Structure 1
Amino acid sequence: MVRFGDYSPGAQVGIMIGLATISANLLALLFFFTIGFDRPEQVIIGTTCTTVLVSAPLGAFLVSLNFKMKQVAAQLDHETRTDSLTGLSTRTEFYLQVQRHMQLCDPSKGAGGVLYIDADHFKRINDAYGHAIGDAVLQELGILIRSILGEWDHAARFGGEEFAVFLEGADLGKAKWISHRILSATRGIAGHLRVDGLNVTVSIGVAIHEPHQTLDEVLVAADQCLYSAKNQGRNRVVLAESMLSGTDHLA
């Protein structure tokens, strides 16, 4: 049997009107042959009972259908905003939330720090241990990052093994401290997964949002620091200021 929701809107309306009409006529005949309609009060009673008996199940059906539609809409909304593997935000949601925060903050001040994170040699992990272990590593990274974030911070999986973190109101010192916490905790993922020979590390580039700077600009600065961290051997943190001075901040 074809589900009701598979019919066109016009057909659905026609079915409901038809069922309501048939039900009302049957009930009217039942009342006519049982109590009759000789007096006005009998007509009122019969009409009221018919209306209640027809509208109650129809109303319950419509309320149930509306509730299910809201559930589906909420689930779809959650899926578009959240990365299914790590539980972090999607790239699109990250841009939406962080740009909204930047618009609300004082334009003469920076909004916070941005971390660009990349799992080191992730392709090697997939090739050597399989994609199931690779997915487990990404899931653990998602859990780790979420556990370190503050109430107004935001994190997302940008795709593959890349992550971005926005630290609300953070200066370079705080961003460096958070970065090294992530760097250190990541080294424990292999032991947690109990996979022999597995080595999990990350490289992190850090930049601080400057007044009037766009999100794309600060992300580019953090990405340049990440690129520098990879070139210097990975498994380390490089900050924007260290790029200027020629020195790196290592774990």
Structure 2
Amino acid sequence: MWSTSMEGENQQFASFLIQRFPEVKERHPGEGRRRWRLRVAQQFWQQCSYTAPIIPLPDVSSMSGDHVDDSDPLDCISTERPELGLVVRTDFANEDAWASFCSRLEEGEREFVECATGGQAANDNLQPTDQTPEHTEDHTDESDDDDESPPKIFYLINPSGAKQRASLSNISNLTALRLLNDVDVRPAPSPPQGTKRIRVQNRLVDFNGWQEIYVGKQVWIYDSKSNLDQCARLVSQSGNMYGTAT
């Protein structure tokens, strides 16, 4: 069960979810919360003929329901993880480059935690986690001492199986968000003074005054370019200025 509030959720979309979610869930059993929310969002966009209010309506993100409380197959590698962010490997052509990236990331995590804790953190507790859903272990029986260790910063999603790798290979930023975050809808940012709204409606930017956003842990993408520059790409969950896309 995931009960974290949907921070961006507005009253219209929340009401739409409450009305449509049970039917979608019944028609598509076993898909999980994120896929069900995406299906409801698609219906919302197809019927979104009204314009969002200039002033956002009162937040109703605390409203409970299956659209918030239901589990999702990938919660085990996203919302249920203790790490602060998720690094998704989408290119599997260069194991040496990936190993080098992981080593540099581990070093960066160690330096960050040592600075934050005054150098008292044990190095053994700073290994970046590198597991796949089928290999995730239950650590609920670990000692209380482990509970006091500094939290890891990144969880590395690096599947070992061919089928799992194929499902992540070269995926887009939006696909990664839809796998690991929950879709939401909010009023689009207001255009700067003197700027007209976009002519071609785009739900990731502005669709009748609404914008599709994603809520959850921050996602970084390791792609083919990462093999060369050893950098992961931060994925935007929402457009903070008018004209920028999720």
TM-score bin, normalised by smaller chain: under 0.3
| Structure with a larger share of its residues in helix | 1
